[in-house]
Amino acid sequence: MEDAENQDLSKSLLFKRFKTENFSLEAFTAEEVLYMLLSPYMGDNEKTKSTARLLLSKFGSIGSILSADIPQLCSKELLTRPEAENLKIYTAFLRHLYVLNAPMPENISDIRGLTNYIRAVYFAQQRERLYVIPLDENGKLLDIHFVCEGERDRLDISVSRLKDLLFSDRRCKKFALVHNHPDGTLRPSQNDIETALSVSRMMIEYGFELTANFIYSRGRLKDILDHKLFF
């Protein structure tokens, strides 16, 4: 998405295009996306358009804006706290639309499809979040479940919740884990490696095999079990 100067923005026209594009943002500029997120509560007016442009100028990118927390958004003195809170709410809603319209791949071996789906799941996330992907014995994806959230650079897995999620589907025989690195690195930390080994040993006792443990960051996946980097 490229920034647009002097773009003729209209909330009704933008949302009509958004629906026409099957809720994809690929055809929109960064300014248009930000305007769609601001206009429902700031109004369809010149001040909102100016705020969108100034936010992009201050933060540098749409990704930096949407990943910022509320104090960071308010620190630039361009948004009030209620406006920043609303921006986070609408960002979460946009992420939900992304996930709903991103097709879940049929099999764990479809790495391109999996990467596209995971990209939607982690849209504008600024904290590490862990998801579990239950698989049947042939590697078919059964679902994806949120497990827990950590700090920006550390994640401690809730083993009891993970176990409960895997037992919730009788078809589940294997599973994959995926967590994000908001700082942009795909290098696994020592905690990542030790946790993966510990979880793998514990879950095998319950009959579940860990087949992949992905790190996601900025459109790329890395499986730290076999050190493969995808895209």
Per-residue pLDDT of the chain (231 residues; tens, 9 = 90+): 433 343 455 666 766 766 666 556 666 788 888 888 898 889 878 889 999 999 999 998 887 888 788 999 998 788 999 999 999 998 888 777 777 777 899 999 999 999 989 988 888 777 789 999 999 999 999 999 999 887 655 667 778 899 999 999 999 999 999 999 988 889 998 888 888 889 999 999 999 999 999 999 988 899 988 765 554
Q: Could you say which of 100, 125, 141 is where a domain stops?
A: 100
Name all contacts of 188-194 with Cβ < 8 Å and 24+ positions apart: 188/215, 188/222, 188/224, 189/153, 189/154, 191/154, 191/155, 192/224, 193/224
On whether both 138 and 45 belong to a single domain, the answer is no
Domains identified in the chain, total number: 2
Report the distance separating Cα 170 and Cα 166, nearest Å.
8
On whether both 131 and 194 belong to a single domain, the answer is yes
On whether both 140 and 219 belong to a single domain, the answer is yes
Residue 110 in any domain: the answer is yes
Q: Could you say which of 100, 120, 139 is where a domain stops?
A: 100
Residue 178 in any domain: the answer is yes
On whether both 85 and 119 belong to a single domain, the answer is no
On whether both 155 and 212 belong to a single domain, the answer is yes
On whether both 83 and 122 belong to a single domain, the answer is no
On whether both 111 and 222 belong to a single domain, the answer is yes
On whether both 129 and 181 belong to a single domain, the answer is yes
Using a cut of 0.75, tell me whether the model's pTM lies above it.
no
Give the tens place of pLDDT for each residue, 155-210: 677 788 999 999 999 999 999 999 999 888 899 988 888 888 899 999 999 999 99
Containing structural domain, residue 61 = 11-100
